[in-house]
Amino acid sequence: MAKGDFDRREFLKSGAIAVGALAIVGSGVSYLDKSDEGTQLTQEFLRPPGAIGEIDFMYGCIKCGLCVQICPVHAIKLADVHEGLSYGTPYIDVRNQACDFSCDALQCVETCPTAVLDFEQFKNAGAIAVEKASKLPGVDLSKVNPFEVQKVAMKEAVKIGKAHVNRRTCLAHNRKGFKGISRGLDFEGILRSPDSKYDYATPLKDKEFDMEICNLCVTECPIGETAIVFVPGRGSGKLHPRVLDGCTGCGVCVMVCPTDKPSIVVEPIKS
Beta-bridge mates of residue 161? 268
Q: Which stretch binds other proteins (CB under 8 A): 109-117, 195-203, 204-212, 240-248?
A: 109-117
| 55 lies in the site for other proteins, by CB under 8 A | yes
Which of 73, 103, 108, 112 touches other proteins (CB under 8 A)? Answer: 112
CA distance 37 to 100: 28
63 makes contact with other proteins (CB under 8 A): yes
Is residue 271 a contact residue for other proteins (CB under 8 A)?
A: no
Residues 116-135 that bind other proteins (CB under 8 A): 118-119
Q: Is 188 among the residues that bind other proteins (CB under 8 A)?
A: no
Task: Name which of 64, 151, 160 is nearest 114 in CA terms.
Answer: 64
Residue 88 sits in the site that holds other proteins (CB under 8 A): yes
Q: Which of 45, 70, 187, 267 binds other proteins (CB under 8 A)?
A: 70
By the rule CB under 8 A, 105 interacts with other proteins: no
Does residue 33 interact with other proteins by CB under 8 A? yes
Quote the CA–CA distance of 206 and 90 in Å, as a whole number.
28
Shortest separation between residue 172's beta carbon and other proteins, angstroms = 37
Sort 151 into a burial class: Cβ within 10 Å, 0-12 / 13-18 / 19+: middle
Beta strands in the chain, from DSSP E residues, in sequence order: 76-78, 90-92, 161-165, 178-180, 190-191, 202-203, 209-211, 228-232, 239-243, 264-268
DSSP 3-state helix, strand, coil percentages of the chain (rounded to 5)? Answer: 35, 15, 50
Name the segment binding other proteins (CB under 8 A); options: 16-24, 156-164, 218-226, 251-259: 16-24
Minimum separation from the CB atom of position 179 to other proteins (A): 35
Which of residues 48 and 241 has its CB atom nearest to other proteins in the complex?
Answer: 48
Quote the crossing angle between the two packed helices 146-156 and 120-135, to the nearest 10°. Answer: 130
